[in-house]
Structure 1
Amino acid sequence: MKAKSKAYDYMNWREIEGILYSDIDYPYNVLGPRETKKGLLIQVFRPDAVNSYVILEEDKVKVEMELMDDAGYFACLIPKTKMQKYKVLSVYEDKSEYLDYDPYEFKIELDEREVSSFNNGINYEVYNLLGAHPDEVDGVKGTRFAVWAPFAMRVSVVGDFNNWDGRSHMMQKHYDSGIFYLFIPGVKPGDIYKFEVLKKGNNPILKSDPYGFESELRPDNASIVSDIDKFKWTDSKWIKSREKAYDKYKEDALAKPISIYEVHLGSWRKTEDDEFLNYRDIAPLLADYVKDMGYTHIELMPIMEHPLDQSWGYQVTGYYAPTKRYGTPEDFMYFMNYMHNEGIGVILDWVPAHFPRDSYGMSEFDGSCLYEHEDPRQGTHPDWGTLIYNYGRPEVSNFLIANALFWAEVYHADGIRMDAVASMLYLDYGKSDGQWVANMYGGNENLDAIEFIKHLNSIMHKRNKGVFMIAEESTAWSNITTDLEEDGMGFDFKWNMGWMNDTLRYMQTDPYFRHEHYGELLFSMVYAYSEKFMLVLSHDEVVHGKKSLVEKMPGSFEDKLKNLKAMLGFYYTHPGKKLLFMGQEFAQSNEWWEGRELDWFSLDIDYNKQIQKYVKDLNSLYTNEKSLYELDEYSEGFEWINNISADESIIVFTRNGVDPYDRLLVVCNFDTIARENYKIGVPYDGGYKEIFNSDAKVYGGEGFVNGRIKKSKVDECDGRRDSIRIKVPALGISIFRYVPPKK
């Protein structure tokens, strides 16, 4: 049946011209069905088609459309026909045919409340509004697309489903918000797509979806339609226990042990063919190892999608997509679920401080500096070559805040470690005079970034009880871990970069000269309670020529091992939560390199196996001795016994639990000279039983240990009435538990 049409009289040719030139941002006004006095007018744009037909589902008739413009613009006016679903059959010059629903017959609307909250920076689940979402409209399955691009002339969805032709699926603009949106029938999970953005000046660019849930494997970079709501989580017991402990946890000032194993998934283990393992394959291997070693948590270096392996994930292009290197979003959910069911917490490294300039990413997203600052003095990192987020733009801060919440709420992360916080806080970070712009008060503080961080920490703690917020902040900025109500930044922990730098510098010094650097061992206790600290020996310290931990140590290889054990013993007994990077737990000699897996073969060597056993036992000691963590943030949890023996390179201190008699006496000797009958003061009279000694033979030592309980005598030392005499191994650590005298 061929319609006798007068469609021409009902067509708005001024607006149709915008369709033909593909520079229109309101295609709903022109394309799709429209009821008229004479019947149903249907207009479609099928670029390069020679014929098109409308197939009405309810009336079950096929109507030939008129070719109104050779570019592929068709229309038909069907008399006495009501609004109903239809498909369009298009025929091309090569005789190929394409049959599908017309996307413009599904005129979806945006939820105005969600849109308004996004524009005000408080839509904490904005990833449900923007991005690509499999959906069903009027009984037809497809995918709902939305993207924020307020300064774009036109935005289209392109992919294999339309031969990457930006003329085919132009999106409708919501003018108040700058959001473009469209429902495309037939597009399904697994289909790849990008947004074609027409900038002012008629220059189209292809952009990956900032809110895309999945991406192609590098070097490809298209987004992938993904349904992330199908995974069946079974970790409710873990989540509930975390939430239940939250109130007590806050009252008790983080009074529980946290020992974190920092992991780069791509190089922890690989296949026999030197390929990446899938998230599902890594999960049981990593969980078994972490449990055996006694860690409480793992921290994953960024698993958000990134283009370059060598960036380790710190230059993110897909903030809402787990990297395809190791599998799908559902595979990563399996990983997280598995860890929780094995009793292991998972902290994710997160990078809100900067983003790369890759043309397919967020850089100049809609032709303007949308996510970054327009002024390069505000919007660029000179040292890193990356772009800085405009935290003062509500939609940008919303993008980031919702993203952190996304990983906690959708992927069940137990903590977010915020990378490079110092670079966010200071406007002049890494910049010379003339390269930065002062704030409104003439200072170098980034007021917008401060507000962003406070907003995020506030809402994270309100919505997700027990999820840690951890700051990698390398300066002396005050009140990082102070509560927001007390004008703090609201983090739960801060990486103690000062302790790490001082300790490593001291340990790298030849023991002969260590007496000159004795203060570096002590200084951390001057500020130990100014923040809630986490001691870190992270990946940054074992790359780019810095050497592995064991190779940093001075002396013969035997001395290197002793030094390493002494340092690790000091690390585990010093106040603060713990983080140790993978490979250092078994004294890997090689620097870490992301291109190969850890040197697991070295565990065939005795000393590597012994160091691994040493760290395992330290973890056990740390997590089982309350005095090593119970009063971590209180000065009552630590007491110096001897911090004046610079010439001997010895320090002595106690770690104290809530129970006043729950005390561990820690003796650290950083000299190469062993002490046979060394006298130290003790806090109480009674017995002192050695429970740990780095020189034990099981750890490859010489067995210079204290086999019997040492009973104190009234013999003044270190300003104490009572003292004991002990063996102190060279380059070693001894730990004694106080045993009260029998009544």
Structure 2
Amino acid sequence: MSAPHLPQQPDSGTNNQSQTGEIPSIFSEFDLYLFGQGKHFYLYEKMGAHPRVVDGVEGVNFAVWAPNARAISVIGDFNGWNRSTNLMELRHQELGVWETFIPGLREGALYKYAIYSRNNNYTADKIDPYAFASELRPNTASIVQDIRHHQWQDAAWLEQRAQRQDLNAPLSIYEVHLGSWRHVPERHVPGAAEEDRFMTYRELAPALTDYVKAHGFTHIELLPITEYPFDGSWGYQCTGYYAPTSRFGTPEDFQYFIDYVHQAGIGVILDWVPSHFPKDGHALAYFDGTHLYEHPDPRKGEHKEWGTYVFDYGRSEVRNFLVASALFWLREYHIDGLRVDAVASMLYLDYLRPAGEWIPNEHGGREHLEAVTFLQQLNEAVYAEVPGAVTIAEESSAWPLVTRPTYVGGLGFTHKWNMGWMHDMLEYMKLDPIYRRNYHNNITFSLMYAYSENYVLPLSHDEVVHIKGSMINKMPGDLWQKFANLRAFYGYMWGHPGKKLLFMGGEFGQWAEWNYKESLDWHLLAPPSDPHHAQLLDFISRLNQVYQDEPALSALDCDPAGFSWIDPHDSDNSVISFLRRSKDDEDTLLFISNFTPVPRQGYRLGVPASGIYYEILNSDDARYGGSHLLNSEDMTSEPIPWQSGSRSIVLTLPPLATIILKRRPGTIGSEPEPLEEQVPTSSDHPSGDPS
């Protein structure tokens, strides 16, 4: 927006006090030093708009970083958006920090910065990059907000958080887009009078918490709620790095939401996006008439595929802006972890860029060295400043040491999404079972690298959009087979090493792809809808219960000693079997998945020790919509070595199913020792081949 004239600007000073000496700067010399170094982790307490009392006068202090501006004024509803009324002073010339104090101003005031650049007479009205609140889209003004009103009641959760989020603790994540989880009223409700709308943070608090807790998830992961202008970006094109979106309420409402979830014993992970930002004119782009936050060279500062800018990670003030934002959510909103989006796009200079449209690093390579430094600084700051919090990388390449400490050259994340496992398994599950024998490696390959990082197994929102089909619609076969396939897949996934993540709707088999504009199809869970949906949800609840109750599924989750194959080679039958262990042999679980619709009677399975084995979960149980081909009787091991086991049992494998077995406590050595060694014969193997 052009201005009719340039406001009269006072001479700039370089000390911590205005020329008149009336209003002292909010910044100390140490604040400025840390900011210049990129290490002021509480910078949000200085930058932005803060209610303040100066010489007994209440008002609001404003501070903004704009080193290439020649004049700035604060405009808002309190001065008729007049650019000449509230001018800012360049208090700290070397860093380019501008300040002013407006007496009498209070919370709730709308404001922007009217910026006049030294560059080409550029003028623009910009939001506050450090604003704590924003107007509801399509309006874009920042809002003066004090975020310290909420009285937190989640001390008990915070005290146990580090233990609950330990690498060897169960982590079952329910990924949620707040705008489409559930609307008021729900779709398909006959006679609903109220207009379809988002639920608020305060409405979501009990509804979402109760649902997640009832079905056994340990954490909720929120798609980005950092303020964003375009609904269709799902929050991944963020403009407000310190403001929860106003779509669902106020900052205090969001704090209430987090507090409520914590009091129920559920953790909250936030998707956070330091990889790119939109070009919207009111936000960070070309902030002071120069490429201040983005890298100035489009070959390094722009994602053409996404239409967004890339942060200049080599600039200390930009790194400070981002690291302080990450810590802000963890401290001020008690968020338990950050899932960092699109890490691969940060690590590689040639990411989605053809030859000639990217710049090699100083060594001639494709690695973005400044981004690597930023990510390491981010993770070091999180672990030092917020003990017990976690960081999760969505990193889709084979970059090494993503979850290893920075002091050994790693990036320092707690976990990494296992995108390779996800792609392999979805490709496998889409196949007609008759062809799966030829793709057996898709199931087994992930164990070649399962302990190279600390993994999360993700079935995320990205897998159920853009004509990829919902989880249930990826499965082949008729109605019964689709649900059987999905239950077998989930059962195998919960047994596989790594934390679990499932996007909303996948837990009850929603047929439709995810649509960010609409609520989930909750009507599928109520009569007269097909009962398979409610039965699938029941199965997920039971899986999560087993996951939390059984130490073998988490106690050695990041240790190769926690897993071993029983038989990874039975490709002819599309069957895999493996063990999960804890430090106590009594906890050992046996997982067997049959990925064909063929029941297999008399299937001999190797077991690790003598004893009596029983079935603790069977995805083919009629309770879950299966054919009810169960192993209801105890199975006593026989002294017949088989597969990788020193003993073996005989059981029934139901069609398209995963079953979990456990040895009854105190039954080691319960079967009689043989009079002579028994040698397995071909008749003992369901395929007729003892090899």
TM-score with structure 1 setting the length: 0.85
Q: 1:23 to 1:383 in 2, by over 3 A?
A: farther
The question of whether the paired residues in 2 share the 8 Å contact of 1:575 and 1:628 is answered with yes
1:169 to 86, 108, 114: 86
Deviation at 1:691, TM superposition (A): 0.5
Query: Corresponding residue for 2:100?
Result: 182
The question of whether the paired residues in 2 share the 8 Å contact of 1:116 and 1:177 is answered with no
The question of whether the paired residues in 1 share the 8 Å contact of 2:432 and 2:477 is answered with yes
Distance (Å, rounded) in 2 between the aligned partners of 1:445 and 1:414: 30
1:26 aligns with 2:11: yes
Deviation at 1:483, TM superposition (A): 1.4
Distance (Å, rounded) in 2 between the aligned partners of 1:116 and 1:663: 55
Query: Corresponding residue for 2:675?
Result: none
Matches within 5 A, 1:15-414: 21-22=6-7, 24=9, 26=11, 106=23, 108=25, 110-173=27-90, 174-200=92-118, 201-243=120-162, 245=163, 254-272=167-185, 273-414=195-336
1:575 aligns with 2:497: yes
Distance (Å, rounded) in 1 between the aligned partners of 2:584 and 2:19: 79
Deviation at 1:26, TM superposition (A): 3.3
Deviation at 1:687, TM superposition (A): 1.1
The question of whether the paired residues in 2 share the 8 Å contact of 1:283 and 1:339 is answered with yes
Distance (Å, rounded) in 2 between the aligned partners of 1:398 and 1:573: 40
Query: Corresponding residue for 2:678?
Result: none
Deviation at 1:462, TM superposition (A): 0.9
Q: Give 2:389's aligned amino acid.
A: V
Query: Corresponding residue for 2:668?
Result: 741
* 3-state DSSP of counterpart to 2:61: strand
Distance (Å, rounded) in 2 between the aligned partners of 1:362 and 1:23: 25
Distance (Å, rounded) in 1 between the aligned partners of 2:445 and 2:25: 62
The question of whether the paired residues in 2 share the 8 Å contact of 1:542 and 1:592 is answered with yes
Distance (Å, rounded) in 2 between the aligned partners of 1:118 and 1:34: 23
Distance (Å, rounded) in 2 between the aligned partners of 1:481 and 1:27: 47
Aligned residues: 649
Deviation at 1:675, TM superposition (A): 0.5
Deviation at 1:742, TM superposition (A): 6.2
Distance (Å, rounded) in 2 between the aligned partners of 1:219 and 1:731: 49
Residue by residue, what CA displacement relative to the aligned partner does 1:146-199 show, whole Å, maximum 9, x if unpaired?
Answer: 000000111110011111111111100021210110001122111100000002
Q: Give 1:110's aligned amino acid.
A: F
1:610 aligns with 2:529: no
Distance (Å, rounded) in 2 between the aligned partners of 1:136 and 1:257: 47
The question of whether the paired residues in 2 share the 8 Å contact of 1:469 and 1:492 is answered with yes
Deviation at 1:105, TM superposition (A): 5.5
Deviation at 1:106, TM superposition (A): 3.8
The question of whether the paired residues in 1 share the 8 Å contact of 2:18 and 2:24 is answered with no
Q: 1:611 to 1:369 in 2, by over 3 A?
A: same
Identity across aligned pairs (percent)? Answer: 47
2:558 to 599, 614, 633: 633
Deviation at 1:308, TM superposition (A): 0.7
What RMSD over aligned residues (CA atoms) do the two structures have, in Å? Answer: 1.8
The question of whether the paired residues in 2 share the 8 Å contact of 1:27 and 1:170 is answered with no
* 3-state DSSP of counterpart to 2:198: coil
Q: Give 2:582's aligned amino acid.
A: G
Q: 1:676 to 1:393 in 2, by over 3 A?
A: same
* 3-state DSSP of counterpart to 1:585: coil
* 3-state DSSP of counterpart to 1:255: coil
Distance (Å, rounded) in 2 between the aligned partners of 1:364 and 1:151: 11
Q: Give 1:132's aligned amino acid.
A: A
2:417 to 463, 488, 495: 495
Distance (Å, rounded) in 2 between the aligned partners of 1:530 and 1:230: 44
The question of whether the paired residues in 2 share the 8 Å contact of 1:380 and 1:386 is answered with yes
Distance (Å, rounded) in 1 between the aligned partners of 2:627 and 2:5: 84
Mean alpha-carbon deviation: is it higher for 113-122 or for 189-198?
113-122
1:675 aligns with 2:600: yes
Distance (Å, rounded) in 1 between the aligned partners of 2:406 and 2:235: 30
Deviation at 1:33, TM superposition (A): 12
The question of whether the paired residues in 2 share the 8 Å contact of 1:259 and 1:577 is answered with yes
Q: Give 1:158's aligned amino acid.
A: I
Matches within 5 A, 1:449-460: 449-460=371-382
Distance (Å, rounded) in 2 between the aligned partners of 1:34 and 1:675: 87
Distance (Å, rounded) in 2 between the aligned partners of 1:447 and 1:496: 23
Q: Give 2:414's aligned amino acid.
A: D
Q: 1:28 to 1:526 in 2, by over 3 A?
A: closer
TM-score with structure 2 setting the length: 0.92
Distance (Å, rounded) in 1 between the aligned partners of 2:59 and 2:131: 16
Query: Corresponding residue for 2:689?
Result: none
Deviation at 1:382, TM superposition (A): 1.8
Residue by residue, what CA displacement relative to the aligned partner does 1:277-309 show, whole Å, maximum 9, x if unpaired?
Answer: 110110011111111001111000000000111
Distance (Å, rounded) in 1 between the aligned partners of 2:233 and 2:381: 30
Deviation at 1:715, TM superposition (A): 2.2
Distance (Å, rounded) in 1 between the aligned partners of 2:498 and 2:553: 9
Residue by residue, what CA displacement relative to the aligned partner does 1:10-69 show, whole Å, maximum 9, x if unpaired?
Answer: xxxxxxxxx98415363789xx9999xxxxxxxxxxxxxxxxxxxxxxxxxxxxxxxxxx
* 3-state DSSP of counterpart to 1:586: coil
Deviation at 1:202, TM superposition (A): 2.8
Query: Corresponding residue for 1:87?
Result: none
* 3-state DSSP of counterpart to 2:641: strand
Distance (Å, rounded) in 2 between the aligned partners of 1:623 and 1:669: 24
The question of whether the paired residues in 1 share the 8 Å contact of 2:609 and 2:668 is answered with no
Deviation at 1:240, TM superposition (A): 1.9
Q: Give 1:442's aligned amino acid.
A: G
Query: Corresponding residue for 1:431?
Result: 353
Deviation at 1:120, TM superposition (A): 1.1
Q: 1:684 to 1:172 in 2, by over 3 A?
A: same
Distance (Å, rounded) in 1 between the aligned partners of 2:619 and 2:645: 26
The question of whether the paired residues in 2 share the 8 Å contact of 1:25 and 1:153 is answered with no
The question of whether the paired residues in 1 share the 8 Å contact of 2:607 and 2:644 is answered with no
Query: Corresponding residue for 2:634?
Result: 709
Q: 1:23 to 1:690 in 2, by over 3 A?
A: same
Q: Give 2:621's aligned amino acid.
A: A
Query: Corresponding residue for 1:688?
Result: 613
The question of whether the paired residues in 1 share the 8 Å contact of 2:563 and 2:581 is answered with yes
* 3-state DSSP of counterpart to 1:196: strand
* 3-state DSSP of counterpart to 1:326: coil
Structure ID, larger Rg: 1
Residue by residue, what CA displacement relative to the aligned partner does 1:111-144 show, whole Å, maximum 9, x if unpaired?
Answer: 2211221111010010111000111111111110
Distance (Å, rounded) in 2 between the aligned partners of 1:415 and 1:23: 46
Query: Corresponding residue for 2:674?
Result: none
Q: Give 2:642's aligned amino acid.
A: C
Distance (Å, rounded) in 2 between the aligned partners of 1:322 and 1:384: 23
Distance (Å, rounded) in 2 between the aligned partners of 1:26 and 1:669: 78
Mean alpha-carbon deviation: is it higher for 674-683 or for 311-320?
674-683
Where in structure 1 are there 5+ consecutive unaligned residues?
1-18, 36-103
Distance (Å, rounded) in 2 between the aligned partners of 1:336 and 1:558: 39
The question of whether the paired residues in 1 share the 8 Å contact of 2:12 and 2:93 is answered with no
- Which contiguous aligned blocks of 4+ residues in structure 1 show a shift greater than 6 angstroms? 32-35
Deviation at 1:242, TM superposition (A): 2.2
2:622 to 677, 697, 700: 697
